[in-house]
Amino acid sequence: MRGYAPRPPPIQRHPSESQPVAPAKIKARPGAEVKSLVETFTQAKVLQIYDGDTLLVAKGSSRILIRLDSIDCPEGGQDWGDNAKYGLIKLVGGRTVHLEEYGLDNFGRTLATVYVRHANGRDWQNVNERMVTLGHAWVMRLSYDHLPSDRQYKLNKLEAWAQSRNVGLWSAPNPIPPWRWRKEARQPPADAR
């Protein structure tokens, strides 16, 4: 199946090394300004999709792991996780994209807003926003303070729209945010404690 790959291995560190600290995120530009700048952003070729918010791209001769910024998709093994992954494959699988980069996350992945040409061939589509609109992702409000208020507002509005229309993961009676699901998955069952 095209675009399928196992989750990348964690970054190997010597036991004496402390966990990495994410550098301060670069401030993003307002939405109107971004539209005129997309073509100046780093261009990359999508090589693999790991899940709904993580992909591997080729930038020149380098391979870079990208984490879609300010959104969080359900994990593999979680309800809607596979749907989110296939949604991202459909949007960007094998395509050339442009990256608005913001620095690294705690796992060494490059945080970015990804842009891809719209089907009309003229306009650019914000993939992070599209994943929210399609009901494949939650907005990460605790992690989007580097975005200008107009872009925060748009993400919130798109999520509210998807939720009100029961689109994607919002069609489930009680969808569990991935950050809560990950936390619960790390805890042993009550009877094992």
Rounded Cα distance between 92 and 116, Å, is 7
State how far the Cα of 12 lies from the Cα of 94, in Å rounded to an integer. Answer: 28
The one catalytic residue in 33, 39, 63, 75 is 75
What lies within 8 Å, CB to CB, of 100 at 6+ separation is 28, 29, 34, 38, 41, 112, 113, 114, 115
- Angle of CA points 94, 97, 100, to nearest 5°: 145
Residue among 109, 129, 130, 159 flagged as catalytic: 109
109 is catalytic: yes
Clarify whether 129 is annotated catalytic: no
Element (H, E) at 50: strand 42-51
Catalytic residues: 67, 75, 109
